[in-house]
Amino acid sequence: MAAGVYLHIPFCKSRCSYCDFATDVYRSAAGVERYVEALASEIQNSKVENQDPVETVYFGGGTPSLLVPRQVEKIITAVRERFDVISDAEITMEMNPATVTAGTLSAYRELGVNRASFGVQTFDDRALRLLARGHDANDARETFRLLREAGFANISFDLIAGLPGQTLHDWERNLEEAIAMPPDHISLYLLEVHEGTPLAEQIRSKRQPEPDDVLAAEMYELMLERLAATGYEQYEISNFAMPGFEARHNSKYWTLDPVYGFGVSAHSFDGRERYANERDTAKYVSAIESSGSAEVMRENTDAASEYVFLGLRLEKGVVLEVYRERFQRNLLDQYGTEVDELRNAGLIEIADGRMKLTRKGKLFSNEVFQVFI
Ligand code: SF4
């Protein structure tokens, strides 16, 4: 089964008010250099037994576009030396507005980066300030122009809906500007408020309104309509692509293909087990330097259960025959009562040998997934 490689770059220019990821503010070039050395060393010395070709490489973060091309080259070279990376691999880098120049973008392209996952989030300057994103909407427009000029023919936008104080009209304007640019792929995130973040504190102290779930659902519905009308295909609950531009790397998570993660807090799945690295950057670097490994968790998975609730995220759903071949079980026998209840509630449908979420099911997807966990 073809595999993917995930590389976590934890540095950001500043910390956004809603962020709960394993990130660090970019403090010193020397610190970043030491991290890159540790990451390359982890890849080179990895004991992964994978013999399958690697068809996707993904730089996530954090803000990987803060790396200089020489550092990206070091990491990509380590991946190519350690794994059999196919010639037309999808190589994605997450990028944030105002973190790149024409020069760095063309250097990334020369190193083989052929897809940009671009953190636009919103074109509303008021909301960007509220989120402490550290850039404005014009930065996003300008960076998009630079990406196209540098030859990026596969650009994905991250957009966030359900922001405090955001109206349906605000969201509509935002969506229209995004569609008009236009990116080749769009990932939608509904704002989640995580305990311990500045945004959670602002909401608790009533300086910002509580997120409105009903309004967020209306924003989602509006997005489904607008994107379908402009030629984007929804292939996953939160992901939309022009034909042929589905994210190959992200799709690996939903079909349970192996993905090997490297770097601080990186998670891996080798087809049998899940394992993860240390979440603290300084501890990660020390662990790699002293022992070559920063692994802190390893567990067996219930792959059959995961295959169902991850597969339900996909527009094509879970193919019942593929499930039977892969796990030697009949899904409808195994979950007969639960499936009947979900069908009666109008949350899933079974047709053409597939089990899929209905439109209503997409709005209540977490409740559906719980049934199969
Ligand atoms: S850019 Fe992304 S990873 Fe970095 S602080 Fe903001 S939300 Fe977190």
Is 248 domain-assigned?
Answer: yes
Ligand 1 nearest atom to the CA of residue 133, by list position: 6
- CATH code of the domain containing 70: 3.20.20.70
Ligand 1 atom nearest to 20, measured from its CA: 8
pLDDT exceeds 80 at position 24: no
Q: Are 225 and 315 within one domain?
A: no
Mean predicted confidence (pLDDT) in 4-14: 95
Nearest CA to ligand 1 atom 5: 15
pLDDT, tens digit (0-9, with 9 covering 90-100), for 279-293: 999 999 999 999 999
Q: Whose CA is nearest to atom 8 of ligand 1?
A: 19
> Which ligand 1 atom is at minimum distance from the Cα of 18?
7
- The SS3 of residue 75 is helix
Rounded to the nearest 10 degrees, what angle do helices 213-229 and 168-180 cross at?
30
Q: Is the pTM of this model over 0.85?
A: yes
Residues whose beta carbon lies within 6 Å of some atom of ligand 1: 12, 15-16, 19, 21, 23, 61-63, 96, 119
Q: What share of the chain has pLDDT > 90, as a percent?
A: 88
Decide: 198 and 132 in contact? Cβ < 8 Å.
yes
List pLDDT tens digits, range 145-170.
Answer: 999 999 999 999 999 999 988 999 99
- Residue 263's pLDDT band (boundaries 50, 70, 90)? very high
- Statement: residue 50 has pLDDT above 80: no
Distance from Cα 62 to the centre of ligand 1, integer Å: 5
| Cα–Cα distance for residue pair 241/250, rounded to 1 Å | 12
Q: Is residue 282 part of a domain?
A: no
Examine residue 326 and state whether it is found in any structural domain, yes or no.
yes
Ligand 1 center from residue 125 Cα (angstroms): 17
Can you give the CATH number for the domain in which 312 is found? Answer: 1.10.10.920
What 3 state SS string does 298-359 have? EEECCHHHHHHHHHCCECCCEEHHHHHHHHCCCHHHHCHHHHHHHHHCCCEEEECCEEEECH
Torsion angles phi and psi, residue 187, rounded to 5? -110, 130
Q: How many domains does the chain have?
A: 2
pLDDT class of 21 with cuts at 50, 70, 90: confident
The answer on 230 and 317 residing in a single domain is no
| pLDDT score at 269 | 95
> β-strand 239-241 against 354-357: which pairing, if any?
unpaired
pLDDT of 237 > 90? The answer is yes
| 280 occurs within a structural domain | no
Across the chain, mean pLDDT equals 94
- Of 237, 254, 271, which one is at a domain's C-terminal end? 254
* Å from CA of 25 to ligand 1 middle: 9
Domain's final residue, options 235, 254, 273: 254
SS3 190: strand
Q: What tens digit of pLDDT does each residue of 177-225 get? A: 999 999 999 999 989 899 999 999 999 999 999 889 899 989 999 999 9
Q: Looking at the predicted structure, is the pLDDT value of residue 318 above 90?
A: yes
Residue 81: its pLDDT value, please? 96
Residues 189 and 332 in one domain: no
Contacts 24+ apart (CB under 8 A), 331-337: 331/355, 335/308, 335/371, 335/372
pLDDT surpasses 80 at 25: no
What torsion, rounded to 10 degrees, do the Cα atoms 345, 351, 357, 360 define?
-50
Residue 51 has pLDDT above 90, yes or no: no
Q: Which of 215, 230, 254 is the last residue of a domain?
A: 254
- pLDDT tens string 338-364: 999 999 999 999 999 999 999 889 888
Q: Are residues 7 and 151 in the same domain?
A: yes
Residue 220 shares a structural domain with residue 311: no
Distance CA 121, CA 191 (A): 10
Residue 277: inside a domain, yes or no? no
Å from CA of 14 to ligand 1 middle: 8
* Per-residue pLDDT reduced to its tens digit, 52-68: 899 999 999 999 999 99
Domain that includes residue 145, residue range: 3-254
